[in-house]
């Protein structure tokens, strides 16, 4: 039985995977993955160690073959048209490795030739350009074996940019870089994005992803748990924190808000009471920060006046941690409720204790 999968060709879709699966023995490294990366996206690819990020990248680059499914890149199936696809991609897969006996510049010459660029001095200017971008020009003649981890990483980025590719695929590009280096890579990614390149960025550094990516996919044990717009995800992670002077007021506020939600205020999400660092009860509710004043006014009608009210922006880190936290014994995933549509949310109102969104 031949299953027909005929993806619509859209030149704005740079990467499209359909049911992409990789099984190593009994281990399902990537399961039924559907990804879509659009032209001009800075696409963050997140997941804990062993979640299948690198396996996915390797499948996209044709280093490993999928057990099932397909990857369409630039409208071409990478199982059949890998070479023309790779000619338009610059990639770093894990820690970049080069020939230790060659200098940084010579390594780039070798890679240039392997990438289909002309040999000899024809590409000296381009090699100087990319070395300049990653600030390795002064060490260009130095043997690669003498490079520090950060320099190796930067040479990897230079190699990825060598052909001025349309799609730049970066697997943990800031590994081994100092904070200044991380900042520079972030700036570089922003610059590349401004130049119209599509960036596929796999990273553990959530702040980095939050800063540069417009779309994100989160993997957990080979399964895609979330894919979407970073701004939208962050909005869903928005919270309002309220502190009252007494425990009694806190309990009343919790009950009042719960009642309001039951009466139709569906933008009020999960609520919980936690202790702050000073041991004071803190009512935290998932709600758009733009509704802070409205919440305040609603509670004031019931003579409940908050001593403090803090609108809190959502953070990718919190969302990531919730989504990738181990599922409870009943199969419930703590993060899924937070990301569900507010109308469908099941509010788990807890008394006290520290949840995943504990006060920092």
Residue 106 interacts with another protein (CB under 8 A): yes or no:
yes
Q: 198-202 and 167-171 as β-strands: parallel, antiparallel, unpaired?
A: parallel
Helix 149-161 with 124-133: angle, nearest 10 deg: 130
CA 199, distance to chain mean position in Å, is 12
Distance in Å, CB of 151 to another protein, minimum: 16
For 158, the 3-state DSSP assignment is helix
- The radius of gyration computed from the CA coordinates of the chain, to the nearest angstrom, equals 24
CA–CA separation, 230 and 257 (whole Å): 28
Neighbouring CB atoms inside 10 A of 21's CB total: 18
- Using CB under 8 A as the binding rule, whether residue 133 contacts another protein is answered as no
What is the x/- site pattern for another protein, positions 14-33, by CB under 8 A? -----x--------------
Q: How far is the CB of 45 from another protein (least distance, A)?
A: 16
Strand 215-220 vs strand 36-38: parallel, antiparallel, or unpaired? unpaired
Which range binds another protein by CB under 8 A, 57-65, 226-234, 318-326, 330-338?
57-65
Q: Which of 38, 40, 48, 70 binds another protein (CB under 8 A)?
A: 70
Q: Does 126 bind another protein (CB under 8 A)?
A: yes
Q: Is 297 in the site for another protein (CB under 8 A)?
A: no
Q: Is 80 in the site for another protein (CB under 8 A)?
A: yes
Cα–Cα distance between 158 and 153 in angstroms, integer?
9
Q: Which is nearer to another protein, 80 or 297 (CB)?
A: 80
Under the criterion CB under 8 A, does residue 164 sit at the interface with another protein? yes
Rounded to whole angstroms, what are the CA distances from 90 to 86, 87, 163, 225? 8, 8, 7, 27
Q: Which helix (H) or strand (E) holds 296?
A: helix 292-300
Does residue 113 interact with another protein by CB under 8 A? yes
Cβ proximity to another protein: between 71 and 209 the closer is 71
**What residues numbered 82-101 form the site for another protein, per CB under 8 A?**
82-83, 86-89, 91, 93-94, 96-101
Q: Which of 23, 28, 38, 76 binds another protein (CB under 8 A)?
A: 76
CA distances 205 to 45, 150, 315, Å, are: 11, 16, 12
Contacting positions for another protein (CB under 8 A): 1-7, 9, 11, 19, 58, 61-65, 68-70, 72, 74-77, 79-80, 82-83, 86-89, 91, 93-94, 96-102, 106, 109-111, 113-119, 122-123, 125-126, 129, 159, 162-164, 166
């Amino acid at each position: 039985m031949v299953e027909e999968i005929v993806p619509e060709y859209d030149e704005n879709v740079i990467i499209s995977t359909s049911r992409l699966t990789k099984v190593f023995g009994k281990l399902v490294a990537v399961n039924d993955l559907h990804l879509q990366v659009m032209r001009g996206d800075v696409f963050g690819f997140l997941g804990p160690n062993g979640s299948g990020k690198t396996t996915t990248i390797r499948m996209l680059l044709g280093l490993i073959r999928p057990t099932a499914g397909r990857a369409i890149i630039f409208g071409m199936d990478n199982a059949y048209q890998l070479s023309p696809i790779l000619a338009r991609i610059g990639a770093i897969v894990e820690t970049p490795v080069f020939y230790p006996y060659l200098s940084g510049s010579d390594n780039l010459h070798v890679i240039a030739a392997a990438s289909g660029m002309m040999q000899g001095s024809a590409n000296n200017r381009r090699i100087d350009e990319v070395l300049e971008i990653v600030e390795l020009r002064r060490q260009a003649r130095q043997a690669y074996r003498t490079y520090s981890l950060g320099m190796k990483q930067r040479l990897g980025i230079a190699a990825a940019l060598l052909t001025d590719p349309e799609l730049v695929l970066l697997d943990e590009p800031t590994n081994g870089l100092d904070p200044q280096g991380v900042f520079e890579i972030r700036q570089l990614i922003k610059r590349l994005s401004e130049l119209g390149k599509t960036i596929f960025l796999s990273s553990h550094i959530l702040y980095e992803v939050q800063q540069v990516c417009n779309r994100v996919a989160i993997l957990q044990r080979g399964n895609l748990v979330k894919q979407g717009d970073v701004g939208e995800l962050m909005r869903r992670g928005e919270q309002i924190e309220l502190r009252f002077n007494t425990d009694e007021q806190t309990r009343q506020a919790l009950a009042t808000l719960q009642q309001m939600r039951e009466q139709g205020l569906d933008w009020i999400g999960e609520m919980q009471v936690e202790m702050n660092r000073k041991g004071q009860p803190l009512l935290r509710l998932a709600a758009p920060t733009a509704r802070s004043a409205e919440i305040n006014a609603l509670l004031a009608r019931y003579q409940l006046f908050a001593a403090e009210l803090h609108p809190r922006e959502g953070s990718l880190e919190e969302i990531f941690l919730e989504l990738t936290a181990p599922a409870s014994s009943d199969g419930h995933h703590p993060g899924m409720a937070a990301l569900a549509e507010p109308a469908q949310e099941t509010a788990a109102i807890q008394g006290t204790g520290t949840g995943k969104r504990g006060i920092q």
